[in-house]
Amino acid sequence: MTTTEEVQKIAQSVLDGIRYGNDKSSVQALAENMLLLESAGLTKLNKRLTDGRRKILDTITEHNFAAQLVRQHLSDRSFAIEYEPEGLKRPVDFRIQQTGITYFVQVKNLARLARENIQTRIIAKVGKLAASIKVGRYFDFSVSDDFVEDDIPALLNFMRATAENSIDGKAYAFLNTTNTKARLTFWSPHGTTLSYLTLGTAGDIGMLDVTNLAEGQIKDSFRNAAGAFEENDSDRVVNLIAVEADKVDDMHMGNALFGTEFEGWRQDQQSWSRNKDGLFDDSDFSMRVAGVIALRRKEQIPVSHYRSYLYINRAHVQHVDEIVQIFAVDKVV
């Protein structure tokens, strides 16, 4: 990247395949973040934006997180940040150093986890076959529980008949004789030329519902993230998981980390307690992870600022003041 204009073109192409948050203000915000991260030496993260479009929202989560962090420490000469640093057995997302302490941060996107559990194979297959439809537009779609692969040929015929004259952002229902089997949305690229119907990157972030994401799935995601940490938490190493959890409520996060909450009675008084089934009660996880930072969007668009909520591991509560200084945490749980 050499000029602001070139960066804005890259930002436009990144956001073109996203239905919402691809307007001029979002493109400008992403371009500003890209220039900021370049100045901090995070060119690898900027380059990642143009790779692997189906995981672009994961990268934007990392990008938002890094931009907010770098902006917070612009005048702090003791602060250093690296993206996927070299020399580790399994690359961790971020290595941050300040005043003799190294923070390793693995970033997760729980919304992405939910999407991957919804008819992934069918969506991927339709996305590939859509290349036969020579209409230069993006599309996104959701399918019902009873949508099967045998429905794909009829769906493609419906797309051929609908795509070219469709209205940007309008939902079109693909029906069988009794019910809706799929809903599709089409939109035109702003700064990209397409030669065929192209599956968008994520669809509608603002309307994506991950509220009922199972606590078991949350635990599996956090265990996977913890596997990136080579050293246990100590006085000089602090391991953290930062997770975009905009629509995952405090109760589910608390149950996954601290244990399932249950109601009890003592001397005719209602009381609440927790089972010992939380990740912070798991010795392997507890030794390795100091805490989980839940990132909640301030704006329901891809390029967004975050509010940060730190779920601290009781075994590493001595790190709270250090973590809060680095990450500007809004609330400690």
Residue-level pLDDT, tens digit, the chain, 333 residues: 567 889 998 899 888 888 778 888 999 999 999 999 999 999 999 999 887 566 788 899 999 999 999 999 998 888 999 999 998 888 899 999 998 899 999 998 776 555 555 566 788 889 899 999 999 999 988 777 778 888 999 999 999 999 999 998 888 999 876 778 888 989 988 777 899 999 886 444 443 444 445 677 788 889 989 999 999 999 999 999 999 888 777 888 888 899 888 776 666 676 677 888 899 999 999 999 999 999 999 988 889 999 999 999 999 999 999 999 899 899 999
- Number of domains comprising the chain: 2
Q: Evaluate whether residue 131 is within a structural domain.
A: yes
Asked whether residue 287 falls in the same domain as residue 150, the answer is no
Name, in order, each residue with C-beta under 8 angstroms of 197's C-beta and a sequence gap of 6 or more: 130, 131, 133, 134, 135, 136, 137, 138, 139, 159, 163
**Residue 217's pLDDT is what?**
79
Asked whether residue 140 falls in the same domain as residue 279, the answer is no
Asked whether residue 158 falls in the same domain as residue 306, the answer is no
Q: Identify the domain boundary among 147, 172, 199.
A: 199
Asked whether residue 218 falls in the same domain as residue 315, the answer is yes
What is the 8-class DSSP label of residue 241?
E
Task: Compute the Cα dihedral for 39, 40, 43, 49 and give only its sign.
Answer: negative
Largest CA distance in the chain: 72
Report the SS3 class of residue 122.
helix
Asked whether residue 322 falls in the same domain as residue 240, the answer is yes
Q: Evaluate whether residue 21 is within a structural domain.
A: no
Asked whether residue 91 falls in the same domain as residue 106, the answer is yes
Q: Evaluate whether residue 18 is within a structural domain.
A: no
Name, in order, each residue with C-beta under 8 angstroms of 326's C-beta and a sequence gap of 6 or more: 69, 96, 98, 103
d(CA 233, CA 252) in angstroms, rounded, equals: 24
Q: Identify the domain boundary among 178, 199, 220.
A: 199
Asked whether residue 135 falls in the same domain as residue 226, the answer is no
Asked whether residue 274 falls in the same domain as residue 173, the answer is no
Q: What is the number of other CB atoms lying within 10 angstroms of the CB of residue 76?
A: 13
**Residue 205's pLDDT is what?**
41
Q: Evaluate whether residue 36 is within a structural domain.
A: no
Asked whether residue 184 falls in the same domain as residue 230, the answer is no
Q: Identify the domain boundary among 175, 199, 223.
A: 199
Asked whether residue 216 falls in the same domain as residue 318, the answer is yes
Question: To the nearest 5 percent, what fractions of the chain are helix, strand and coil?
Answer: 40, 25, 40
Domain that holds residue 93: 53-114+211-332
Q: Is 99 left (phi over 0), alpha (psi -120 to 50) or beta?
A: left
CATH no. for residue 294? 3.40.1350
Q: Which amino acid is at 84?
A: E
Q: Evaluate whether residue 40 is within a structural domain.
A: no
Q: Evaluate whether residue 20 is within a structural domain.
A: no
**Residue 271's pLDDT is what?**
66
Asked whether residue 217 falls in the same domain as residue 304, the answer is yes
Q: Evaluate whether residue 41 is within a structural domain.
A: no
Q: Evaluate whether residue 70 is within a structural domain.
A: yes
Asked whether residue 84 falls in the same domain as residue 62, the answer is yes
